[in-house]
Structure 1
Amino acid sequence: MCARQDRTQPARSSVGSVIPTTRLDIMSEAVAADPWPTLRALREQGPVVWHETYGRWLVTTDRAVRKVATNFARFTVEGTVVEEMFGADAFISMDDRRRHDDLRNVWAEAFRKQGLDRLRPAVERIVAGLMAPVAARLNDGEAVDLSQTLCRPIPTLVIALLMGVPDEALPDIVRWSDAMAAGGTTYLSETEAARARIAREAAKQGLADYLLALIAARRVRPGDDLVSVLVHAPAGAALPDDQLVQNLRQLLFAGNETTAKWLAHIFVTYGERGDTRRALVADRTLIPPANDEVMRWQGVVGTIVRRVRGGPIELAGVELADGAALTCLLAAANRDPDRYDDPDRFDLHRPARPNLGFGVGFHNCLGSVLAKMEAEIGVNALLDAEPDYAVAAPYAYSSVPMRGPMPVVVAHDRG
């Protein structure tokens, strides 16, 4: 996400060098389709670049992004589009470590590997149920849009299962999530930005109304779902309903939107790279690291935002003023040649090294282990059903801040 804030704030002094500046458009559909030349150009300008149009600093390298993301005392989420999108009382928006951890830890056990291992059979059943009609259609020679039949339904059904959301509510959940995602993106046109914000706020309210009813039901009749866990945990029981809603809304959004786009990247990558797909068919143990490489190489969350607090601070030789707005370009950092050899190349056997796809610091993704399990099960199921699939239609990308290909139409590879 890249918010249009503090557009008039001037660039401050740089330590021993000229401040690199840019007006490169990183929000257009053309850049979303192939962002890598633009992101490379920004990274080559320097680790910290002033964007004259956005009125904010762009952080471009792995090292600089990690410094920002792990120093929550000086680089805050508060007052950014994240807080605007999810609410000040959602733990993703909090830099107060104690409050953040009290809320996040309510669900931490459910998202640890041991807890998710118990969920695995249910996820396998969900994926198998979704895959059966897909396999039948592929076997009949049809082309199938996996974005509608697998990418979106897999994480939506899984997070709905965890939260106790009934199937009939899922179309609304998806619609609200899509509008929230679109409303968190910067648009160069103020008219577009206003329209997206209106749609986002309406979606947030629709989801809030639904969650309020769910909270009331779980207070009376608790279950073993994540809504019940939060409502009846000491940290949750002390919260008013609006704060409960903010945290549940964040969880529901993250649990389906980002994973759906990652699955789309994965299926497209393997559908276009026959050598990679055949290697995975032959050795299924390669699937988890291959999926991680897709996350590094393409990525879903291309940007995170922060704001300087507590006075001026130096970052990579550039002095940033108190209150300065930053956009950390995770997509650029994940192809940083100082961290990865030949970073623009997809390498199935790249030595393991954590990338920034799931974030870093205490605002890293709570559901990363769950997303990895869903992706592994989903890829295995597709390769079982159709090991020789290929991408069969053009696709487009949403945006750099929240990026995924759509549609993902595949068919049997007759080549």
Structure 2
Amino acid sequence: MVLFDHAALGRLRQAGPVHRVESEAGIPFWMVTRWDEARQVLTEPSLSKRQPVDGLPPALRAAMSTQMLLQDPPVHTRLRKLVSAAFTARRIAELEPRIVLLTDRLLDGLTDGDLIDGLAFPLPFEVICELLGIPADERGPFRAWSNTIILGEFGTDAFTLAIESIVDYLRELLDRKRADRSDDLLGALVGAESADVLSSDELVSMAILLLVAGHETTVNLIGNAVYLLCRWPAQKQRLLDDPALVPVAVEETLRLAGPSATTTYRVTTSPLTVGGTTIPAGEQVLVSLLSANRDESRFTAPDDFDLNRHDGGHLAFGHGIHFCLGAPLARLEARVALTRLLARFPETHLAVPPEELRWRTGLLMHGLLELPVHLSATPGR
């Protein structure tokens, strides 16, 4: 699919900044492929994030109708304010010792094999579950539910069942937290519901968003970063020689192989001109983050993984009022994971040829299904 094909995206960028395309399901939309136009669209107030929910099954309607990502101001502003305190720089910094401890525990049990399963998934998943207050012995089904929601096709039986399952579980958990208020993020949101600041459906939608988006992005970020370091051994050696460059490696991963392929849809409420093309009212618009972050007019040698890059400013976490709330947490988790992994297993390298790796193909996420690695053997040539 063109959304994940860098060569195809490059051809589209050369042809123009905006293109009318169709999804695999035959749904037409306008895709923005260049950096300047992407920034314009991401901050355009006339574009709406609201999506139709009429006719959806009850669980899907509860999950989507009030979800923060699908709201415009002032509703979006109110919802975002309720959770923003949990993701301040100070609050995230306080989590670092716990993230280091969880990372080291995972590395203690890590062996040659799939790094996604061994590190990239369990680290952010455990962190977000602890932050939200999901009991450790109740977390088992969430990986399957989350994968189905992220990778599945909207409206299929499997997708709907996953949504229904996660909605049912969270409603039951939130009932318990109403009866016995907990000192965690879900407990705080239950308090907002009690104060009539948050409706019941908004509470469930927020919980789903925080749980799924709160770890899926970081799974891809960690996996993609290790993949790039394995593909660019000279850059990996620079990190081994100077671990202070790890934050730079995280940002370059975000630019070159960001964890999200696209934004969520926006809808034109009136005709909108982008890059010389006028998009009529009532049309779906999607920003290709992968394409914008490799725009030749914005970045020098955009297809290179370069720890000496000086032209930053990627859009991997979006831009404007919908900028990813969890970006500081994702960055911290990735920095800790890379630092501890390279210190423990400096000779980590791919266990299979790159062309044999399988990438996720859902609309939003950009990451590997598995990342087979050898941890300490002499790197293959």
- 2:169 is aligned to 210
1:121-160, aligned counterparts within 5 Å? 121-134=97-110, 137=111, 143-160=112-129
The whole-number CA distance in structure 1 between the counterparts of 2:103 and 2:228 is 20
Structure 1 stretch 366-375 or stretch 403-412: which is displaced more? 403-412
TM-score in terms of structure 2 length:
0.90
Structure 1 stretch 339-348 or stretch 401-410: which is displaced more? 401-410
Q: 1:162 aligns with which of 131, 134, 152?
A: 131
The whole-number CA distance in structure 1 between the counterparts of 2:264 and 2:346 is 40
Q: Does 1:44 align with 2:20?
A: no
1:171-320, aligned counterparts within 5 Å? 171-183=140-152, 197-233=156-192, 237-320=196-279
Q: Does 1:341 align with 2:303?
A: no
Residue 59 of structure 1 aligns to which amino acid in structure 2? V
Q: 1:86 to 1:266 in 2, by over 3 A?
A: farther
Q: Does 1:57 align with 2:30?
A: yes
- 1:356 is aligned to 315
Q: SS in structure 1 opposite 2:263?
A: strand
Cα contact 2:148–2:159 (8 A) shared by 1: yes
Q: 2:358 aligns with which of 363, 385, 396?
A: 396
- 1:88 is aligned to 65
The whole-number CA distance in structure 1 between the counterparts of 2:291 and 2:63 is 25
Q: SS in structure 2 opposite 1:229?
A: helix
Q: 1:78 aligns with which of 36, 43, 50?
A: 50
Q: How many angstroms does 1:221 deviate by?
A: 1.5
Structure 1 stretch 106-115 or stretch 84-93: which is displaced more? 84-93
- 2:328 is aligned to 369
Q: Does 1:414 align with 2:373?
A: no
Pairwise CA RMSD: 2.1
Q: SS in structure 1 opposite 2:50?
A: coil
The whole-number CA distance in structure 2 between the counterparts of 1:406 and 1:263 is 12
Note the alpha carbon deviations across 1:14-71, whole angstroms, 9 max, x for none.
xxxxxxxxxxx426xxxx4xx1110001111101112266422111101111111111
Note the alpha carbon deviations across 1:192-230, whole angstroms, 9 max, x for none.
x65xx3222211111111111121111122222110111
The whole-number CA distance in structure 1 between the counterparts of 2:331 and 2:378 is 30
Q: How many angstroms does 1:352 deviate by?
A: 5.2
The whole-number CA distance in structure 2 between the counterparts of 1:39 and 1:304 is 15
The whole-number CA distance in structure 1 between the counterparts of 2:297 and 2:268 is 28
> Structure 1: any 5+ residue segments left out of the alignment?
1-24, 138-142, 185-192
Q: SS in structure 2 opposite 1:405?
A: coil
Q: How many angstroms does 1:150 deviate by?
A: 0.3
> Structure 2: any 5+ residue segments left out of the alignment?
54-59
Note the alpha carbon deviations across 1:241-266, whole angstroms, 9 max, x for none.
22210111011000111111111101
The whole-number CA distance in structure 2 between the counterparts of 1:387 and 1:84 is 47
Cα contact 1:80–1:306 (8 A) shared by 2: no
The whole-number CA distance in structure 1 between the counterparts of 2:241 and 2:62 is 43
Alignment size in residue pairs? 365
Q: 2:91 aligns with which of 112, 115, 135?
A: 115
Note the alpha carbon deviations across 1:140-176, whole angstroms, 9 max, x for none.
xxx2211111010001000001011122222211111
Residue 176 of structure 2 aligns to which amino acid in structure 1? A
Q: How many angstroms does 1:306 deviate by?
A: 3.3
Q: How many angstroms does 1:310 deviate by?
A: 3.3
Cα contact 1:85–1:180 (8 A) shared by 2: no
Cα contact 2:235–2:306 (8 A) shared by 1: no
Q: How many angstroms does 1:88 deviate by?
A: 2.1
Q: 1:404 to 1:120 in 2, by over 3 A?
A: same
**Identical aligned pairs, as a percentage?**
29
Note the alpha carbon deviations across 1:367-396, whole angstroms, 9 max, x for none.
100000000110111111111111112421
Q: 1:308 to 1:249 in 2, by over 3 A?
A: closer
